[in-house]
Chains A and B, each alone.
Chain A
């Protein structure tokens, strides 16, 4: 059995992953593996903002950098599992899918969801990141000394 801290760490990881999925992708993967369970809204999807903060000099006192749009919602499955979503942008259907996935991850279908939704999302995210990193790496400067003036 996992303890509460591990459970929380796992949930934080999958919620963070779901928040970064491209538009429509969670629904595609979710609907291909399970049929959507019945649920009731605790909080229907709503659009708002969060204030993004940073630190002066990257390490000093915090300051308010500006806001970003956020969609959030919360729902409960018939079995009692509660799913939450906080995702970037104005994406109500994605927020619903993310909250459903969050709720289902707390039920017996979790391994199936891990395999068919979270793992593909995680691999796709890694592929996008590494493609970008590879392009950046191709622009890395390799200095070499042509002539050193010693006089």
Chain B
């Protein structure tokens, strides 16, 4: 219960002034620009865009600066800003098969058309602190290799040719949108994917890890992981045709899962799908594993009661802005609630005390 009280205005103003000063830190140290954050903390920027569900690197960088690097606070700022924007429309589904890949790897096929492209990865680094970065220094140009534009087909398409993998059936149903309609169960896969792509990375990672450890066991291989840019094309109603309005960088992960068959499906490989704004590899892999676990029902698998199989549990707890909003509200004044609890505990103690005295007397 909330009761309006007055008297905190000056304290709040002063707290905000101090917050601004602490945000700036030691003034002998140069101030960070938004462009520096955008360029040099780009993976943080990517996470804020993905979970804020708004692709705009400059805004995400600004939010990170304003939030002092608290990424959930930054995501909150982006989500709040997003609600102020008029929606001009929806794009055509992006063509990830035509992605200009910065990175493209497969853990299932060594030699595949288009090749294994490592891209700018932390993999194979030794995870030793690099003290050279603590000093100023020029970075040498990355090597280049002459290349011709080539097709980089999806790995799942090769398995498809043998009929060994479940097909993603083409469909043009207008997808549900959880930013317009409240999330309700049962949730179609399209709705689950929308919720997962903007879900908290840590929560999604934990759930995905739980499936690997045996809760809703579905042994996943990374059939393919690709990162790169795709054009975004949308219909312009006043023109009567569509144009590309820009490009976004996406991370896509398709898992290939062993599947021995069920009451309804033959033995084959099944698929989990992850697609996330930005270079966000851990999140995309996690999303694919959780997507696959949530598909138990349509594939005729048993519900073993694992958390990652429970769509309601997963989807209602995966959004870090909802979670933090409810969690953090308990620090706000609950004086009257607490006063009544206090009265109750005092009363119970009085009664317990009186009972004890009576017992001792008997």
Contacts and interface: CB of A to CB of B under 8 A. Distances in A.
A137 B104 CA distance: 11
A115 interface: no
B111 interface: yes
A140 B117 contact: yes
B101 interface: yes
B315 to A, nearest CB: 13
B85 A47 contact: yes
B246 A54 contact: no
Contacts of B92: 53
Interface of A: 8, 11-12, 15-16, 19-20, 46-70, 72, 74, 84, 86-90, 129-141, 143
Nearest to B193: A63
Contacts of B214: none
B31 interface: no
A72 B88 CA distance: 9
Given A62-B175, A69-B55, A19 B90 contact: no
B15 interface: no
Contact of A19 (B175, B243, B252): B243
Interface stretch (B127-135, B234-242, B353-361): B234-242
A136 B146 CA distance: 10
A131 B176 CA distance: 39
Q: Is the interface of B mostly helix, strand, loop or mixed?
A: mixed
Nearest to A129: B100
B91 A46 contact: no
Given A58-B154, A59-B170, A61-B189, A69 B56 contact: yes
A64 B117 contact: no
Contacts of A72: 88
Given A63-B175, A136-B119, 13 more contacts: A20-B244, A48-B86, A52-B94, A52-B248, A54-B93, A54-B94, A56-B189, A63-B189, A63-B194, A65-B277, A86-B236, A131-B144, A137-B146
B223 to A, nearest CB: 10
Contacts of B285: none
Contact of B118 (A47, A50, A61, A141): A141
Interface string B178-207: 110000000001110110011000000000
13 contacts: A53-B93, A64-B90, A64-B175, A65-B197, A66-B54, A86-B245, A88-B247, A89-B246, A90-B56, A133-B100, A133-B149, A139-B103, A139-B118
A66 B89 contact: no
A53 B90 contact: yes
Nearest to A53: B93
Interface string B135-168: 0000000111111010000101000000000001
A132 B228 CA distance: 10
Q: Top 5 nearest A-B pairs by Cβ distance?
A: A88-B246, A57-B168, A134-B144, A16-B244, A60-B168
A86 B234 contact: yes
Nearest to A5: B241
B239 A55 contact: no
Contacts of A60: 168-171
A48 B241 CA distance: 20
Contact of B115 (A19, A57, A130, A140): A140
B294 to A, nearest CB: 12
B110 interface: yes
A144 B130 CA distance: 31
B232 interface: yes
